[in-house]
């Protein structure tokens, strides 16, 4: 089968389409014919040699999410049959024509959702749902600050805030990205130009001085202290990314007085039981909204799998809004 392999770590041009062995399918697993996959920041970092994949997954094939059809189901599989459409997360190896996944990690593709946009759902929406709802305890009428609103996770978060009856403030570094986000879901746009971030005064103004209940932070670095200044009493800050760097200065007395919580989270290295539980909660609370058209995956572009270097370069330049999808059907 064809797959995108990392042959020269350290550059977005260090990947190539190559022939690799087809993975074996265990008794509790699905062999999936991948129709589409999507890029994530973790894929870019892996290609650049900065984020090694976890044990047990292909070490030289990136890709954390997929949509496709079941080719074969192991003898103990109960949830899916051959020919059914599935999507989900894997620890790696999704930039390929076929992959294997445990049946409990897979999710059905909702009726009416094509496979290319379905591939853009799992990582962004599961990350945002887990952070905002399961860990951040988002409730109706909550105020939520979403950093990097134009990213895949950001555009998913804006929609989930609306779906759960909360109110969003979204940041981006260009007016163009904020304008494109307006078509995704209602939110209060907030421009944070490159340089020293300064957004707390405007957030407090928008919230009547009360601050926000939740911050979804994909940026980290210099944003952390400023985000803390935005938090309401007993607010929660969910750290899911470090685009601005992994280190920050923090006034701990402010953290104490606000009785705030800072929660770090990642999906890729979680054990099977946690991933399966997350998938089932998402299926119950969010997946029906895709079938009903209330939420959607925001896709910036769909490119053939062989154009992975082009897509990686676009991600590295922070030029996309929403997800970059690779069509695996064009692998040959």
Q: 172: closest CA among 118, 110, 243?
A: 243
SS3 15: strand
pLDDT digits over 185-242, tens only? Answer: 999 999 998 888 999 999 999 999 999 999 999 999 999 999 999 999 999 999 999 9
What's the CA gap between 287 and 323, in Å, rounded?
Answer: 18
Spatial separation of the C-alpha atoms in residues 165 and 154, rounded to whole Å: 17
* Range 116-126 burial, b when 16+ CB lie within 10 A, else e: bbbbbbbbbbb
CATH topology assigned to domain 124-264: Rossmann fold (3.40.50)
Phi, psi of 297, rounded to the nearest 5 degrees:
-75, 135
Burial tier of 72 (Cβ tally within 10 Å: 0-12, 13-18, 19+): middle
Say which CATH superfamily domain 2-121+269-330 falls into. Answer: Medium-chain alcohol dehydrogenases, catalytic domain (3.90.180.10)
**pLDDT value for 329:** 74
3-state secondary structure of 24: coil
Residue ranges in the chain whose pLDDT is less than 50: 330-332
Q: Locate CATH 3.90.180.10 in the chain.
A: 2-121+269-330
| Contact of 87 with 66, CB cutoff 8 Å | yes
pTM score: 0.96
Give pLDDT tens digits for 140-163. Answer: 999 999 999 999 999 999 999 999
- Pick the closest to residue 169 from 196, 201, 194, 137 (CA basis): 201
User: Do residues 303 and 328 touch, judged by C-beta distance below 8 A?
Assistant: no
Backbone angles phi and psi of 57, in degrees to 5: -125, 160
Long-range contacts of 258-261 (CB under 8 A, 24+ apart): 258/228, 258/231, 258/232, 258/233, 258/234, 259/233, 259/234, 260/228, 260/231, 260/234, 260/235, 260/236, 261/234, 261/235, 261/236, 261/237
Which pLDDT score, from 0 to 100, does residue 194 have? Answer: 85
- Return residue ranges of the chain for CATH 3.40.50.720: 124-264
pLDDT, position 332 = 39
């Amino acid at each position: 089968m064809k797959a995108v392999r990392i042959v020269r770590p350290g550059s977005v041009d260090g990947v190539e389409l190559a022939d690799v062995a087809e993975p074996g399918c265990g008794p509790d697993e699905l062999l999936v014919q991948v129709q589409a996959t999507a890029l994530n920041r973790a894929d870019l970092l892996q290609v650049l040699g900065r984020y090694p994949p976890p044990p047990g997954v292909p070490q030289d094939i990136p890709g954390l999410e997929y949509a496709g059809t079941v080719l074969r189901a192991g003898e103990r599989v109960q949830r899916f049959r051959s020919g059914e459409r599935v999507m989900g997360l894997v620890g790696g190896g999704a930039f390929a024509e076929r992959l294997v996944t445990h049946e409990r990690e897979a999710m059905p593709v909702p009726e009416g959702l094509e496979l290319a946009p379905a591939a853009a759902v799992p990582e962004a929406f599961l990350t945002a749902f887990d952070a905002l709802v399961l860990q951040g305890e988002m409730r109706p009428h909550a105020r939520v600050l979403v950093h990097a609103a134009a990213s895949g996770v950001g555009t998913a978060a804006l929609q989930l805030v609306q779906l759960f009856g909360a109110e969003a403030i979204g940041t981006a570094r260009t007016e163009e990205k904020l304008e494109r986000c307006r078509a995704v879901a209602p939110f209060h746009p907030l421009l944070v130009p490159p340089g020293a971030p300064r957004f707390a005064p405007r957030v407090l103004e928008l919230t009547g001085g009360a601050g926000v209940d939740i911050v979804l932070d994909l940026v980290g670095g210099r944003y952390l202290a400023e985000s803390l200044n935005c938090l309401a009493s007993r607010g929660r800050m969910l750290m899911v990314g470090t685009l601005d760097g992994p280190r920050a200065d923090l006034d701990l007395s402010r953290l104490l007085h606000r009785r705030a919580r800072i929660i770090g989270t990642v999906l890729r290295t979680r054990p099977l039981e946690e991933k399966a539980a997350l998938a089932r909660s998402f299926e119950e609370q969010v997946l029906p909204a895709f079938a009903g058209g209330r939420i959607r995956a925001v896709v910036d572009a769909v490119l053939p799998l062989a154009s992975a270097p082009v897509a990686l370069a676009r991600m590295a330049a922070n030029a996309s809004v929403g997800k970059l999808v690779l069509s695996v059907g064009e692998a040959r």
